[in-house]
A and B are shown apart, each in its own frame.
Chain A
Amino acid sequence: MPIIEIKDLSFSYSGTSRRSLNSINLEVEKGEFVVVTGPSGCGKTTLCRCLNGLVPNFYTGELTGEISVCGLDVQKQTTSAMSQHVGFVFQDPENQLFCLTVERDVAFGPENMGFPREEIRRRVDWALKVTGTEALKDRAPYELSGGQQQRIAIASVLAMQPKIIVLDEPTSFLDPKSSQEILEVVARLNRELGVTVFLVEHRLDLATRHSNRIVVLDKGAVALDGPPEEVYGEQAQLIGIGVPKVPLLFHMLKQDGIDVRETPVTVEEGIKQLRRIISD
Chain B
Amino acid sequence: MDPRAKFMVIMVIFAISLLFTNILVLLVVFLAQLPLIWLAKSMRRWAASMKGGLILALLIFVMNYLTGSTLTHSLAMTVRFMALLSSFSIFFMTTSPDDLGLAMEQAHVPYTLCFTFTTAVRLVPTMAVDAQTVVDAQRSRGLELDKGNLLKRIRNYIPILIPLIVSAIRRSVELAEALESRGFNVTAKRQSLVVLRMKPSDYFAVLAALVSLSLAVWASLYAQLPQVELPLELPRIWQILGPCWSK
B101 contact set on A, CB distance < 8 A: 100
Nearest chain A CB to B102 CB, angstrom units: 9
Residues in B neighbouring A103, C-beta threshold 8 A = 193-194
For B174, list chain A residues within 8 Å (CB). Answer: 90, 92, 95-96
Q: Which residue of A lies closest to B96 (CB)?
A: A100
Partner of A107, one of B96, B121, B180, B193: B193
Interface residues of B in 79-128 (CB under 8 A from A): 96-98, 101, 115, 118-119, 121-122, 125-126
Q: Determine whether B181 belongs to the interface, using a CB cutoff of 8 Å to chain A.
A: yes
> 9 A-B residue contacts at CB 8 Å?
A52-B181, A54-B177, A83-B183, A90-B177, A94-B126, A96-B174, A98-B175, A103-B193, A117-B195
Main DSSP-derived SS at the A contact region: helix
- The CA-CA distance from A33 to B115 in the complex, in Å, is 35
Within the complex, the shortest CB–CB distance from A143 to chain B, in Å, comes to 8
B residues near A156, Cβ cutoff 8 Å: 182
Q: Inside 8 A of A90's CB, which chain B residues have their CB?
A: 174, 177-178
Q: Does B38 belong to the interface (CB within 8 Å)?
A: no
5 tightest Cβ-Cβ pairs between the two chains A and B: A96-B178, A95-B174, A83-B183, A107-B193, A88-B181
B225: interface (CB < 8 Å): no
For window 73-120 of A, CB contacts with B under 8 Å fall at: 78-80, 83-84, 87-88, 90, 92, 94-96, 98-101, 103-104, 107-117, 120
Q: Is B198 an interface residue (CB 8 A)?
A: no
Q: How distant is B187 from chain A, measured CB to nearest CB, in Å?
A: 10
A residues at B contact (CB < 8 Å): 52, 54, 57-58, 78-80, 83-84, 87-88, 90, 92, 94-96, 98-101, 103-104, 107-117, 120-121, 124, 140-142, 156-157, 160
Distance between A115 CB and nearest chain B CB, rounded to angstroms? 6
Determine the chain B residues whose CB is within 8 A of the CB of A87 once the complex forms.
181
Report yes or no: B178 in contact with A160, Cβ–Cβ below 8 A: no
B183 pairs with A109, CB closer than 8 A: yes
**Which residues of B169-216 are within 8 A (CB) of A?**
171, 174-185, 188-195
Please give me the residue from chain A that is nearest to B122 by CB atom: A100
B182, B192, B195: the one within 8 Å of A83 (CB)? B182
Q: Which of A104, A124, A142 makes the CB contact (< 8 A) with B98?
A: A104
Residues of B with C-beta under 8 A to A88: 178, 181
> A111 vs B182: C-alpha distance in the bound complex, in angstroms?
10
Contact with A along B120-149 (1 / 0, CB 8 A): 011001100000000000000000000000
Contacts of A157 in B (CB 8 A): 182
> Hey, which chain B residues are within 8 Å of A92, CB to CB?
174
Do the beta carbons of A111 and B177 come within 8 Å of each other? no
Given contacts A95-B174, A124-B193, contact A54 B180 (CB under 8 A): yes
Set B97, B181, B194: member contacting A79, Cβ < 8 A: B181
**Which residues of the partner chain B approach A101 to less than 8 Å between Cβ atoms?**
98
B182 touches A100 (CB 8 A): no
Main SS of chain B's interface residues? helix
From known contacts A54-B177, A95-B175, A142-B126, infer whether A121 and B184 are also in contact, taking CB-CB under 8 Å: no
Tell which of B175, B185, B192 touches A96, judged by Cβ atoms closer than 8 Å.
B175
| Contact B122 A80, beta carbon cutoff 8 Å | no
Query: Are B185 and A112 in contact, CB atoms less than 8 angstroms apart?
Result: yes
Closest to B99 in A: A100
User: How far, in Å, is B243 (CB) from chain A's closest CB?
Assistant: 61
Chain A residues with CB below 8 A from B183, complex form: 79-80, 83-84, 109, 112-113, 160
Question: Nearest CB to that of B170 among chain A residues?
Answer: A95
CB-based contact B184/A104 at 8 Å: no
CB of B104, distance to nearest CB on chain A (Å):
13
CB distance from A142 to the nearest CB of B (A): 5
Residues of chain A lying within 8 A (CB to CB) of residue B118? 98-100
CB-CB under 8 A from B125, the residues of chain A are 142
Q: Which residues of B contact A124 (CB under 8 A)?
A: 193
Docked CA distance A100–B194 (Å): 13
Asked if residues B122 and A98 are in contact (CB atoms below 8 Å), the reply is: yes
The residue on B at minimum CB distance from A113 is B183
* Contact (Cβ within 8 A) A95 B178: yes
Asked if B185 and A111 make an inter-chain contact with CB atoms under 8 angstroms apart, the answer reads: no
Contact A120 B191 (CB under 8 A): yes
Q: Which of B98, B126, B184, B190 has the most CB of A within 10 A?
A: B184
Q: Supply 16 further A-B pairs (C-beta < 8 A) apart from A54-B180, A96-B178.
A: A57-B180, A79-B181, A83-B182, A84-B183, A88-B178, A95-B174, A98-B175, A98-B178, A98-B179, A99-B118, A100-B98, A100-B101, A110-B191, A117-B192, A124-B193, A160-B183
A80 to B184, CA, bound (A): 7
